[in-house]
Amino acid sequence: MAFTRVHHVGLVTGDLENARHILVDGFGLSVDEHRTPWPQGKPGYDGTTIVEFPIGELYYEIAKPNDTESEPAQHLAATNGRGGMYYVSIASDNIAADVQGLQSRGIKIKGDWDGKGPVFLDPTTCLGLRLQVTPDEPYYVHPYYRGNGTVTGLAHVGLAGRDAEESRHFWSEVFGLREDKTSERGQEGPEPDRPARAANDPVHILEYAIGGTVLEISHPTTTDSGTARLVAQRATMGEVFHHTAPFAPDVHRFIEQAVPAGMEQIGSIPPREVTTRATAWFHPRACLGMLLEPWNRLPGGDHYSPSS
């Protein structure tokens, strides 16, 4: 039994057509109309309507609340209609045993559960994160729904946390994931000779490879950065969702496609004549409320290793 991969990333929005525009025209993805017909979508959790956009071995699930009282609707209202990342679903190859294991280590579930299907975990026992455990399934996207090739997968899901040891205990001891020690960095604080990140955020980073993607947790090492402010405001129980990083083999191509679609780039990257290895950033206000980091870096040394 094991947690095998990130199954999908769930976002909430008030405008499915705008979500389609950003993810199709900006990212180069496609709606999986086999699973979620466009434009009607399909019924989702808590009375939402959902549409899926495959990205490698997983997908972005975009949910539109159909009421004003549900938790997704309240999340949308709390973000002034911007929406954004709402939860992350993690696949299990033995959900009954894995959820039982989580419960034995102090994790609670939300609502009733049949012991077989997807289940949401109680955020108060998950460092404040909304997490779902889902039975793993063969997920082979038909070539028609793979998009135009600008993005080929999700490099990582970015989280921000208040304390590295707290994060390490949760993901290593509670979830049983394997930390990629080769990718730990920033623990000594800001590096004066290293170029600043786009957001100029000195952070101590831990990484957990799971399937074909990574959970990347950033912990501020100063008190005045953007990540530090986010953690102080929204990671009051330990962690908060921060960004996603689509893997774009050609980041310059991603930018050339995203900017005309209305996505707002933060800063700039060197021209492709200087380097093709690049990392870009896009502002949440023009990207479904989600901070975005398209990149094409190589994986860490333990990325191929089993997560259990």
> What is the domain partition of the chain in residue ranges?
3-144, 150-292
State yes or no: pLDDT of 195 exceeds 90: no
pLDDT of residue 299: 78
Q: What does DSSP say about strands 213-220 and 153-161: parallel, antiparallel, or unpaired? A: parallel
Q: Cα torsion for 156, 162, 165, 167, to the nearest 10°?
A: -40
- What is the CATH architecture assignment of 3-144? Roll (3.10)
Beta bridge partners of 186: none
Token pair 């304390």 is found at 163
Whole-number mean pLDDT of the chain? Answer: 93
d(CA 205, CA 158): 10
d(CA 227, CA 201): 6
In terms of pLDDT, which residue wins out, 297 or 158? 158
Which CATH class for the 150-292 domain?
Answer: alpha beta
Tally of residues, the chain? 308
43, two tokens: 């019924």
Q: Kindly report whether the peptide bond that precedes residue 39 is cis, defined as omega within 30 degrees of 0.
A: yes
Q: Quote the percentage of the chain above a pLDDT of 70.
A: 93
Exposed, middle or buried by CB within 10 Å (0-12, 13-18, 19+), for 260? Answer: exposed
pLDDT of residue 244: 98
Q: Quote the percentage of the chain above a pLDDT of 90.
A: 89
3-144 matches 150-292 in fold: yes
State yes or no: pLDDT of 148 exceeds 80: yes
Which amino acid type is present at position 69?
E
25, two tokens: 């025209």
pLDDT of residue 87: 98
Q: Of 13-17, 137-141, 278-282, 293-297, which gets the smallest average pLDDT?
A: 137-141
Give the mean pLDDT of 7-34.
98
Task: Output the furthest CA–CA distance in the chain (Å, rounded).
Answer: 56
N- to C-terminal Cα separation, the chain: 8
Query: Confidence band (pLDDT; 50, 70, 90) for 74?
Result: very high
14, two tokens: 């008030």
